[in-house]
Each structure stands twice: as structure tokens, then as C-alpha cells.
Chains A and B, each alone.
Chain A
Amino acid sequence: MERLKKAIEKAKAEQKTSELEVTPSQNELEVYPEQEVKLSSEKTQPMVSRDTAKVQDSWTYRETRVEPVSQETLRQNRVIAGDKSDARSNPFHMLRTQVLQKMRDNGWRTLAISAPTPKAGKSLVSVNLAISIAMDVNQTVLLVDMDLRRPSIHKYFSISPSEGVQDYVNGKHDLPKMLINPGIDRLVLLPGGNSTLHSAELLSTPQIADLVKELRERYESRIIIFDMPPMLVADDVMVFLPYVDCSLLVVEEGSNTKEEIQKSLFMLENFPLIGTVLNKAEEASQNLVYYQD
């Protein structure tokens, strides 16, 4: 741990001075040759500092498929958590701090993110939060797309649909082959899958339980975030909740009503809820900084 701390501090210090340095280093850290890096624009910054410390975990993904995505593409997809210059990323960093703290305090490793209704922005929040957590050099993240009716995680990374959770449930148990790294350190994705089978009640199958078990065992050190379906659409989420340690509820301002929120909370009643996130908030747009009481 000592070495790790020193490494982080050094990295931080060097980050400030070498923000423009974009050449990938040639040492152990294998970087991503296909990643686009704009040299001309000052605004462009590397997603991650190349001079990360020589940590034990290798950031080379030997087994995991790598499908890097450019910053511009991410911004177009509204994924901005990795862009420190974008003020809109701040809430996600704050969220990360609180979530990590709570989870570490309780020894929780798995987190389910949901919202009362569709289009509330929970997938976006999941993605941005995952990226934000991945920016913490002490933490690796596995983001699982559990919204099997409408898998969307891969879209945010502009990745074409590939095998995932649905396929696992159908019998293909080759997890490592399904994981994808989107070109961001410490972040790995498990897409929803591209099976065309109707996903009704899929989440209540024993295969799902197996999946969660395998994920937990295999990727012990990682924080696993599950992007759930909307809570009030079906009762999938309730069935799934016993498999995770805690949950997060995303609420859409201007759309979710009191009844919807209360119903969702009621469904989450017996499970640890870290808190709620108010998405598409006007106050946030007005640059109000929110402090928890």
C-alpha cells in the first residue's frame, strides 16, 4: 500500500506538469495505439495520465477485448465524467466519493443503479459514475448492463452489440470473452448481449444468480456496477436486489412524480440504499454546488 500511495502522489504531481504530454510511454504500461489524441487542441486532454505508476495490477488487458473510443465520441454520447475541464463532470466525482466511501465502510462491492421510469438517465449516470470511479487509481470497475430489454451501455461507448448477459443466461459461460475495455483504464464492460430472445423474467433465472456469483468471485477486487431496468416497468429489479450489496436510485427531475419515487423506494425498502441522484436538475445547471447536509 505504501508504494501505491507514493505512486499516486507522484502521478498527481506529474499530471500537473505534463498535461500536454501525450506521447505514450514505452515502458510496461502498454497503451492503446488506436486511441486518437489531438495534439493541436489545448483543450484535449488524455483520458488518463500516461505516467501512471507502476502498479501491480497491469493495465494491459490481455484477455479482455479492447475497443477504444475517442473523447469526442464520448462527449457526443454525453459521457463527460472523464473530462476534468468539463464542469459537468463534477457531480459525478462527488457521487463517486460518497459512493466509494459508503461501500468501503460497509465492505460492499456490488452496486445496482436503477430509476423509477425509463429514460431517467440511469444508464448515463451508471456510465459516468463508472468512469469516475475508474479515474480513482485505487479502484477498478466492472460495469454490467442488466437492462436486458434495452441494453444501452454499449451505445454510450459506440461499441457494436456483442455477446453479454443474455448469452450467458442462454448457456455461453465464457465470461472473459464477453468483457470489453473501452479504452479507459480500470474500466471494463459486460454488455447486455445481442440475443433476440424475449427477456421477460430473465433476471429471475438461476443463471443470473450464477452470473453474479461468478462475477463476484472472479473479480473480487473490482467494484461491480449493475445497470438495472427501470423499477416500475417490471419487478425484475426487486428479484435481483438480493444479489447485490447496495443500490442507487436515479430520479429524473420534471418527470418522475412523487408516487413513482415512493413506489420505487418502497421496493428498495429492505435493501441498503446508498442514496438518490437527481438527474436533469435545473439547479445543477445553474452551477449550484450541492452540499449534503
Chain B
Amino acid sequence: MEYEDSNTVSPNYLAMLLRHKWFLVISIPPLIFISSVIVVLLPPVYQSIGVVLVETQQIPQDFVRATINSVVSERIEIIKQRVMTRQRLSAIADKYGLFADKKDSYPVSRIMQEMRDSTVVDLVNTGGNRSLVTIAFKVGFEARNPSVAQAVANDLITLFLSENIRSRTESASETTEFLESEADKLKTQLDATETLIVEFKQGNKDSLPEHLTLYMDILGRSEKQFQDLEREQRSLEEQQELLEVQLASIQDSSLEETPGQKKLSALKEQYASLNLNYQSNYPTLLELERQIEGLEASSASAIVPVSMFEIEVETKLVASRSQLEALLKQKEKSLQKMEDLEAQIIRVPEIERGLLALNRDHENTRTRYESTVSKRMEAEMAESLEQSRKAERFSIIEPPILPDKPIKPKRAQLLMAGLGASIFGPFGLVLLLGMTDQSVRGSKELRAIIGEAPLVMVPYISNSSEDRIQRRIFIYLAVALVLCGLGALAGVHFLYQPLDLLVYRVLGRFEFL
């Protein structure tokens, strides 16, 4: 004999199914029945949905820009988060008595979760592949009771709209406030720079660049003045010289010595020579000294009448001298003034530079301030836009209606599914059993294994007691099934609802009638 090395004994599925046919027959109908009952009994769920249109701003954006410019879909999502808070949802749940019976057994978080799951928020988009623009959105609610569904949907939509308005106006006014405070800050800064400039100018008022030409003029004039003065001085000095010469000549001519004068000069000579040899307290010296003094005194009083000319000249000379003095003083002053001016003028470029910097600061601050002010004005306009609801707004184009048909459960589909599961479940089980059955079945398989067919195949030999038992089981099962079926029908008919009515109701659930 040869052994064939086949991989596995390939299962014969048909034989498998036939072998377990009774199991299938017994298990499938009850499953079908149970699944059908479940499908029929499932409570209906109604859904009410309203549609809100996202209207774009009527006034062109070029004229007034709204403060809020994010993508609509994002905003709707944010509003949704704000609306579906615990607080609001539980307020709605309490208002309509949703989950009233389950309040004790369910934790709050679960109730919230169910509320959220029952809420529908869908975006209605349009546009090509790249840019999807949201033009509207739907808000709805599912509940067992149609009017509750509608009422809650209404409440939700209202919440959405009011939340939208609130957040928009809040945003606009926030913007204005912010800009205003910024403008104020800048104004303060601006004033500060102005003060700086003023102080600087104040501190350097002598060397202000704007006075430069003036200083130059003054300097020029001062120089001229100085030159004039010098000329005058020179002329004065010339004059003085002349006068002095004149005077000298006059004096010279009258400079014959009088006897008194001669004596005086002789005394003086004497005195001088004696002084050389003798001390000052030498009596002769003392005598001489006395005499000299006496003579000088009397000569003083014994002045020879000077000629009027000499007096005139002397007067002129004195005048000239004082004039010159005054002139010199003036000259000094003028020189000082010039020097001062020069110093001032030299400082001007430096001051100019400093002023330039300060002015630049000032200009910058001013520009910023002005732009902020203009922005604030825009923001104020946007705020006004929001308040008069002329910006982008939500408007209900379809309020939630009262649903007349439930959206869930889809009974026909579920029934099919139940049918399928009831059939394929047991089938699958049997096939699974078959797949895992590694035993040999049938002469073909045996032949595959050992290379030769078996000599004979012997059937399962049962004895009469086994036969009897089998028959009995079969009868009992059949009777039991029939009795159960009848009993169930009877029970339904008498205890619940007459069968004909029930049939109509069931069909009604499937919307056939």
C-alpha cells in the first residue's frame, strides 16, 4: 500500500451539513422567530432636523471688514462645543424629561454622552476638490417621541444662533477696546517725545540750528563792528598822538625854567648828589628836602597861566583818552561777543544731530499712533456692523419639522440581517465544526490517506433500543415545537392583542401599508 501525503483531509462541506441537518432544522426557525420579534419590538426613533443658512456679509468687505474671518466650518464646530456643554444639555434634558426614568441608574456622564450621540450637526459644503466652502449646516435631534425631537431640535438651533451672535459681538467689541488702549499708550509716548524735543531745544537754545543764519549775520555784524572799532581806535590813537605832540610842543615852548624852577631843579640835583654820600637824615639833606617841598608847593600854586590853547589841547587829550578807554572797552566787549558767537555756532551741528534723532523718534511714534487710531475707527465700524447684524449671520431657512416617520430602526434591513444571521449562524457553526474535524469521512478520504480504497464500508449498526430512543426524541421534539408554537400564538392572541390586529400593526411598522 502506498501512503499519499495529502496536506489535510479536505472537508466535504455538503456531507457536513447533511450530517447535522437536524441541528440546523431545530435551531434555525427559533432563531428566525426570535430575531423577528426583536426587530418588531424595537422602539422607533424619530429625528427632527433644521437647516441654518450661513449668509455672507452684505456690505462689501472692502468698505467694512468684519472682525471675524475664520473658516465657517471651524466656527460652527466651536459653537457646537459651546452649545453642547453639560450645563446646557442637562438643562434641555430636564426641560423635556428625557432620561427621567433612568436618572438614578445612569451616571450623568452617560446621559450627556447619549444626548450628544442623539444630536446631529452636519455641514453642508460646496466647492471643488481643494476649497470646500460651508454654506449651511443642519442641526437635529433624535428621540423616541417625535414632538420631543422637534422641540429639542428647535432649542438647539436657537442656542446655536444666539451663541453665534454673542460670540461675534463680543469679539468685535474686544477688538475696539484693545485698539483703543493701544492708541492711548501711543498717545502718551508721542507726548513724551514732544516733551523731550522741547526740553532739548530749551537746554540748547543758544545753538539752535534754526538760528544759525541769524548767528552768522550777527557774527558778521560783530566782526564789522569790531573792525569799525579798530579803525576808530586807530584814528583815535592818531588823534591822540597829534594832540600829545601838540601839547608837548606847547609845553616845550613854555618850558623855560623860571627862577623858581631853576632853583628847584638845582636843589634837586644837589639833593641827589648828597643822597649818594650821606644818609637821608643828614641835616643838609633834610634842609634840602624841606626846601624842595616848599618850592614845589608854591610852584604848584604859582602856576604860570597856561595858554588857552594848551588847556584846550589838554582837554581834548583827556577826552580822547577817555574816549579811547571807552572804545577799548567796547572793543573788548565786541571781541567777547564774537567769541561767544563763534562758540555757539560751532555747537550747532552737534545740536542739529541730536534734534534729528529726537525728531525721528517723534515721527515714528506719530505714524504708529495715527495708524492705530485709524484701525480703531475701523473696528468701531465693524462693531456697529455686528450690532446691526449686517455682517455674516446665521439664519434658519428650514425649521425642524415634526417627523412622521421614524428614521431608526430600519426594520426591513434588520429583518434581513436577522434572517441572515439566523441561517448563517448555525450554518457557520456547522461548517466551523466541519473545518476543525480532522477525522476521516468517506471512502474517498480513506483512499487518499492509505492509497487504497477500503475493502468494505460498514454502516453504523444500531439496535432496536437506540432506534426507539431516536424515534421517541423526534416525536417529543416535534410535539413540543408545535405545542410551543400554538401556545405562543394563543398567548399573544388572548393576552396581548388579537392576531389580526397584530398582523396589521407589524406590517405597519414595515411601512407596507
Q: Using CB atoms and an 8 Å cutoff, list the residues of chain A in contact with chain B.
A: 75-78, 80, 88, 91-92, 94-95, 98-99, 121, 124-125, 128, 248, 251-259, 261-262, 265, 273-285, 288, 290, 292-293
Contacts and interface: CB of A to CB of B under 8 A. Distances in A.
B159 interface: no
Nearest to A269: B1
A76 B1 CA distance: 36
B450 A257 contact: no
Given A262-B449, A275-B452, A292-B453, A78 B440 contact: no
Given A76-B463, A262-B3, 6 more contacts: A88-B458, A91-B458, A94-B456, A257-B440, A261-B446, A284-B456
B308 to A, nearest CB: 174
20 contacts: A98-B455, A121-B458, A248-B455, A251-B454, A252-B439, A253-B439, A254-B437, A257-B439, A258-B438, A261-B446, A275-B452, A276-B450, A277-B457, A281-B457, A282-B19, A282-B442, A283-B442, A283-B443, A290-B443, A292-B453
Given A258-B449, A262-B449, A276-B450, A283 B458 contact: no
Given A251-B446, A257-B438, A283-B442, A88 B461 contact: yes
A273 B1 contact: yes
B452 to A, nearest CB: 7
A265 B446 contact: no
Q: Report the 9 A-B pairs with minimum CB-CB distance, sorted nearest first.
A: A284-B459, A275-B455, A281-B457, A284-B457, A285-B459, A91-B456, A280-B460, A278-B454, A78-B461
B116 to A, nearest CB: 55
A284 B8 CA distance: 23
Given A251-B446, A253-B441, A262-B3, A277 B458 contact: yes
Contact of B458 (A257, A259, A281): A281
Contacts of A293: 453
B441 A254 contact: yes
A282 B437 CA distance: 15
Contacts of B453: 290, 292-293
A280 B458 contact: yes
B388 interface: no
Interface string B424-447: 000000000000011111110010
Contacts of A288: 457
Contacts of A75: 463-464
Contacts of B438: 257-259
Contacts of B464: 75-76
A204 to B, nearest CB: 26
Nearest to A286: B459
Contact of B460 (A256, A275, A285): A285
B465 to A, nearest CB: 7
Contacts of B477: none
A21 B465 CA distance: 30
A253 B442 contact: yes
A282 B441 contact: yes
Contacts of A76: 463-465
A157 B454 CA distance: 27
A276 B454 CA distance: 5
A255 B441 CA distance: 8
A91 B449 contact: no
Contacts of B463: 75-78
Nearest to B6: A258
B123 interface: no
Interface string B224-268: 000000000000000000000000000000000000000000000
Contacts, number: 124
B54 interface: no
B413 interface: no
A276 B9 contact: no
Contacts of B456: 91-92, 94-95, 98, 277-278, 284, 290
A281 B1 CA distance: 22
Nearest to B455: A275
Nearest to B5: A262
A261 B459 contact: no
Nearest to B442: A283
B83 to A, nearest CB: 65
A227 to B, nearest CB: 15
A13 B457 CA distance: 30
A258 B461 CA distance: 23
A78 B463 CA distance: 6
B462 A78 contact: yes
Contacts of B8: 258
A258 B440 contact: yes
Interface string B1-26: 10100001100000100010000000
Contacts of B455: 94-95, 98-99, 248, 274-277, 292
Contacts of B458: 88, 91-92, 95, 121, 125, 128, 277-281, 284
Contacts of B441: 253-254, 282
A276 B19 CA distance: 23
Nearest to B460: A280
Nearest to A292: B453
Nearest to A273: B1
A293 B450 CA distance: 14
B459 A280 contact: yes
A274 B201 CA distance: 133
A278 B457 contact: yes
A278 B1 CA distance: 16
Nearest to A76: B463
Most chain A Cβ neighbours within 10 Å, of B438, B446, B459, B460: B459
Nearest to A90: B456
A258 B9 contact: yes
Nearest to B438: A257
Contacts of A284: 456-459
A282 to B, nearest CB: 7
A276 B3 CA distance: 13
Nearest to A78: B461
A251 B440 contact: yes
A121 B438 CA distance: 19
Interface in B295-335: none
A88 B440 contact: no
